[in-house]
């Protein structure tokens, strides 16, 4: 009878340990999915910022051509360069976040 009690105690301890491990793994998976969601949101937001900057670039070109009567616009004009630099910076950030997201998906 004592052996039965010991075996039952071992079984319950192993079951408890297994339950803890499963809960831990589920928690880690949920956290990973949450982090992926945040990264997706950040990427979408950054892409929206890129679109805004592209619109500003179009406005800058329109202003140069129509208001200032310039015949050409180049990437080194102060307003144009600032916008292009911002777009490049945003694109780099997007690439980093997308790489981070890919890493999270592979876990």
CB atoms within 10 A of CB 65: 13
Q: What is the C-alpha separation between 89 and 83, in angstroms, rounded?
A: 10
From first to last of its 107 residues, the chain has per-residue pLDDT tens of 567 667 766 766 787 677 777 667 777 788 888 899 999 999 999 999 999 999 999 999 999 999 999 999 888 888 899 999 999 999 999 999 999 999 988 87
**CA distances in angstroms from 92 to 25, 42, 45, 70, 87, listed in the order given:** 33, 13, 14, 31, 9
Q: How far is CA 66 from the centre of its chain?
A: 39
Using a 10 angstrom Cβ sphere, with 0-12 exposed, 13-18 middle and 19 or more buried, the burial of residue 53 is buried
Spans of all domains in the chain: 2-106
């Amino acid at each position: 009878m004592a052996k039965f009690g010991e075996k039952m105690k071992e079984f319950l301890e192993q079951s408890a340990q297994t339950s803890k491990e499963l809960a831990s793994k589920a928690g880690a998976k949920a956290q990973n999915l949450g982090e992926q969601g945040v990264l997706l949101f950040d990427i979408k937001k950054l892409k929206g910022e890129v679109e805004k900057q592209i619109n500003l670039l179009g406005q800058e070109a329109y202003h140069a051509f129509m208001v200032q009567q310039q015949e050409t616009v180049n990437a080194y004009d102060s307003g144009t360069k600032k916008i292009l630099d911002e777009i490049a910076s945003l694109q780099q950030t997007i690439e980093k976040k997308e790489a981070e997201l890919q890493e999270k998906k592979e876990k």
